[in-house]
């Protein structure tokens, strides 16, 4: 049994290493600073990935700045204000269901709502909003856990000094929960960086540097999808994939570090 | 010792946790400028009673309070709970300093109500001096309060409560998490504070009740069995239940 389980573990690790190794072998040669920081040419098949990398960063930041206030607000309501009952139950169930919805559905929903109905067209804002919807369950859940972990003593201590519920939340509970909420945000960010399906129909395919949130853009994941589909870009596609993997890895390591530091203290 | 009208008073106070009746009609008067100790076995309702006096039960779901609680003869449900809790302060069983600096902990209450600058600083220093913590922390006011020892933390929490200049101070077994020296420090402070305010203290230690209390109220099974001057209730109790409790009250029973 032990041998079988060891073999399984090795298989899984091997696949991970194989994947990253494959990308490294094929793509590392093309992944130069020049590639990262130059403009693409020839419909993206040649040149660098600067606009795509920037789009990804803007997209992640945009999605988070929409998802964080909404998600933390919901969590504060659920933990600090709501009385246990059917409404809270419904919100929890819906949030959990939302977490399991395939991301392409978010993409289609975002397309139908933001691109078509609201007429924003495929832009950074559209993609950020769509992605934010997808990240909400993660942000709500991790924020809820962080808030629930704040000792009741602190809430009572604040109340006993004459503070309103909101004052207690704002001045005592949220600061205490902030590291946990930040960890959740980083986890969400890691997902946002690599997400493809949700932004495929909402971000556009623009290859210029995005200047405003209403510009069409092409995040790395979408860029990669298009390059791979053409089948002509060779090492550039692999280098793009490698850049994406490294970016995602970076955010996850940051999240782990934040978690680890919280556990240690 | 005490003025004619009680500082606080309950009439037929009943508290329900869901279906369970934790307090079964308690009428008790708390005189001003004195220490009233609440004693009794665990689960007798003494903490429940204490938390009714500043409407702490409002914070928990599924708690129902019936009967009257009066502050200076006026029903407390007519007061804004925030105003009530400014006038009726509370010290908890375990020290619960906020995760912020020593200074900001003490400044917390007054700052909520808009006190700033030199006035706020004066309040903080005075409060820390009153609990004899000033000399120990004056060099590190802006360090995190959670770095203080348990006894210091509890005195900090007392300073935090005193910064609001309460008329009544509620203490829920304030020394149960402290060592003997820190306990003595708190008891000395209680002796000083009783000259200016009404203090209600829940304690599981008969020795502590003997040391600090002017009046003692004995609770059992959610009812007030007996209350009166401390030496009378503790040495010549009128009721059989009180006598039995005092005779068999090692610390672990409480």
pLDDT value for B55: 97
Query: B112 vs A159: CB contact, 8 Å cut-off?
Result: no
Nearest to B204 by CA among B190, B219, B189: B219
Residue B94 reports pLDDT greater than 60: yes
Residue B2 reports pLDDT greater than 50: no
Answer yes or no: are the C-beta atoms of A60 and A193 closer than 8 Å.
yes
pLDDT value for A233: 66
Strand partners, B35: B199
pLDDT value for A206: 84
Question: What span, in angstroms and rounded, lies between the C-alpha atoms of A82 and A60?
Answer: 30
Query: Which has the minimum average pLDDT: A32-36, A70-74, B112-116, B220-224?
Result: A32-36
pLDDT value for A252: 81
Q: pLDDT: is B154 or A196 the higher one?
A: B154
Nearest to A235 by CA among A243, B122, A43: A243
Q: What tens digit of pLDDT does each residue of A160-174 get? A: 999 999 999 999 999
Residue B233 reports pLDDT greater than 60: yes
What are the helix (H) ranges across A28-169?
A: 33-36, 50-76, 86-100, 103-110, 124-148, 152-160, 165-168
Nearest to B54 by CA among B67, B69, B44: B69
Q: Tell me how close the Cα of B117 comes to any Cα of chain A, in angstroms.
A: 19
Among A156, A162, A165, A170, the strongest candidate for a mutation testing the B interface, having the largest count of B CBs within 10 A, is A162
Q: pLDDT: is A264 or A219 the higher one?
A: A219
DSSP code string of B133-157: -HHHHGGGTTSBGGGS-HHHHHHHH
Query: A164 vs B94: CB contact, 8 Å cut-off?
Result: no
Burial label for B93, CB within 10 Å (0-12, 13-18, 19+), is middle
Which chain B positions have a beta carbon within 8 Å of A159's beta carbon?
A: 56, 59, 85
Whether residue B61 lies within 8 A of chain A, CB to CB, comes out as: yes
The closest CB to that of B96, out of A154, A164, A167, belongs to: A154
Nearest to B34 by CA among B197, B244, B247: B197
Instruction: Estimate to the nearest angstrom the gap between the alpha carbon of A53 and the chain centroid.
Output: 15
Residue carrying structure tokens 């609001």: B164
Query: B94 vs A153: CB contact, 8 Å cut-off?
Result: yes
Which chain A positions have a beta carbon within 8 Å of B109's beta carbon?
A: 161-163
Tokens of B218: 């004995």
Burial label for A148, CB within 10 Å (0-12, 13-18, 19+), is middle
What ipTM goes with this model? Answer: 0.92
The closest CB to that of A157, out of B82, B86, B96, belongs to: B96
Tokens of A40: 């693409």
Percent of chain A surpassing pLDDT 90: 55
Which chain A positions have a beta carbon within 8 Å of B56's beta carbon?
A: 156, 159-160
The closest CB to that of A160, out of B54, B97, B99, belongs to: B54
Which chain B positions have a beta carbon within 8 Å of A83's beta carbon?
A: 61
Tokens of A240: 């793009």
pLDDT value for B254: 45
Which chain A positions have a beta carbon within 8 Å of B89's beta carbon?
A: 160-161
Q: pLDDT: is B22 or A44 the higher one?
A: B22
CB contact burial B201-238 (16+ within 10 A = b; e otherwise)? bbbbbbebbebbbbbbbbbbebebbbbbebeebbeebe
Residue B249 reports pLDDT greater than 70: no
Contacts of A229 (CB under 8 A, 6+ apart): none
Q: What tens digit of pLDDT does each residue of B111-136 get? A: 999 999 999 999 999 999 999 999 99
Strand partners, B74: B71
Write down the number of H helices and E strands in chain A. 12, 2
Tokens of B169: 């101070």
Question: What span, in angstroms and rounded, lies between the C-alpha atoms of B154 and A130?
Answer: 49
- Cβ atoms within 10 A of the Cβ of B45, count? 23
Q: What tens digit of pLDDT does each residue of A4-57 get? A: 999 999 999 999 999 999 999 988 888 888 888 888 887 777 788 899 999 999
Round the average pLDDT of chain B to a whole number and report it: 94
The count of CB pairs under 8 A between chains A and B is 64
Summarize the confidence of residues A143-159 as an average pLDDT: 96
Query: B108 vs A176: CB contact, 8 Å cut-off?
Result: no
Q: What tens digit of pLDDT does each residue of B5-15 get? A: 899 999 999 99
In A, minimum Cα distance to B99 occurs at A176
Among A78, A161, A176, A179, the strongest candidate for a mutation testing the B interface, having the largest count of B CBs within 10 A, is A161
Query: Which has the minimum average pLDDT: A55-69, A102-116, A213-227, B5-19?
Result: A213-227
Residue A231 reports pLDDT greater than 80: no
Strand partners, B192: none
Question: What span, in angstroms and rounded, lies between the C-alpha atoms of A256 and A262?
Answer: 10
Q: Is the dihedral of CA B2, B7, B13, B19 positive or negative?
A: negative
Q: What tens digit of pLDDT does each residue of B131-171 get? A: 999 999 999 999 999 999 999 999 999 999 999 999 999 99
pLDDT value for B250: 56
- Chain B, 90 to 119: residues with Cβ < 8 Å from chain A are 90, 92, 94, 96-100, 108-109, 112-113
């Amino acid at each position: 049994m032990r041998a079988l389980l060891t073999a399984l573990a090795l298989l899984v690790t091997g696949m991970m290493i194989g994947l990253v190794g494959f990308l490294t072998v094929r793509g590392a040669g093309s992944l130069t600073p020049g590639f990262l920081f130059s403009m693409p040419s020839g419909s993206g098949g040649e040149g660098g990935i600067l606009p795509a990398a920037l789009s990804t960063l803007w997209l992640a930041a945009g999605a988070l700045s929409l998802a964080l206030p909404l998600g933390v607000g919901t969590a504060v309501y659920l933990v600090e204000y709501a009385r246990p009952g059917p409404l809270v139950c419904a919100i929890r169930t819906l949030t959990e269901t939302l977490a399991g919805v395939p991301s392409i559905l978010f993409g289609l929903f975002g397309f139908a709502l933001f691109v078509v109905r609201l007429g924003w067209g495929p832009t950074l804002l559209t993609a950020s909003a769509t992605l934010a919807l997808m990240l909400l369950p993660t942000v709500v859940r991790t924020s809820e856990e962080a808030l629930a972990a704040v000792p009741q003593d602190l809430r009572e201590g604040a109340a006993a000094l004459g503070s309103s519920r909101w004052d207690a939340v704002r001045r005592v509970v949220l600061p205490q929960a902030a590291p946990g909420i930040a960890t959740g945000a980083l986890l969400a960010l890691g997902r946002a960086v690599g997400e493809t399906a949700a932004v495929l129909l909402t971000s556009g395919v623009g290859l210029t540097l995005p200047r405003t949130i209403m510009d069409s853009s092409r995040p790395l994941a979408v860029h990669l999808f298009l390059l791979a589909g053409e089948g002509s870009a060779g090492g550039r596609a692999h280098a793009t994939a490698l850049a994406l993997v490294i970016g995602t890895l970076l955010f996850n390591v940051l999240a782990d570090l934040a978690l680890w530091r919280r556990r240690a203290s | 010792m005490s003025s004619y009208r009680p500082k606080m008073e309950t009439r037929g106070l009943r508290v329900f946790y869901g279906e369970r009746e934790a307090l079964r009609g308690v009428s008790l008067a708390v005189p001003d400028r004195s220490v009233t100790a609440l004693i009794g076995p665990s689960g007798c309702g003494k903490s429940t009673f204490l938390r009714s006096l500043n409407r702490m039960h409002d914070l928990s779901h599924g708690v129902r309070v019936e009967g009257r609680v009066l502050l200076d003869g006026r029903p407390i449900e007519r007061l804004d709970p925030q105003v009530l809790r400014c006038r009726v302060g509370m010290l908890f069983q375990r020290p619960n300093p906020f995760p912020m600096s020593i200074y900001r902990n003490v400044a917390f209450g007054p700052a909520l109500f808009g006190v700033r600058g030199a006035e706020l600083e004066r309040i903080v220093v005075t409060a820390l001096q009153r609990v004899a913590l000033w000399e120990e922390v004056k060099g590190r006011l802006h360090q995190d309060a959670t770095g203080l020892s348990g006894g210091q933390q509890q005195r900090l929490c007392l300073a935090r409560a005193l910064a609001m200049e309460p008329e009544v101070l509620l203490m829920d077994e304030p020394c149960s998490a402290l060592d003997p020296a820190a306990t003595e420090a708190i008891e000395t402070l209680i002796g000083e504070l009783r000259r200016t305010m009404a203090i209600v203290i829940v304690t599981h230690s008969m020795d502590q009740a003997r040391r600090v209390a002017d009046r003692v109220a004995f609770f059992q099974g959610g009812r007030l069995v007996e209350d009166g001057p401390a030496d009378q209730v503790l040495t010549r109790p009128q009721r059989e239940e009180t006598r039995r409790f005092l005779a068999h009250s090692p610390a672990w029973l409480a």
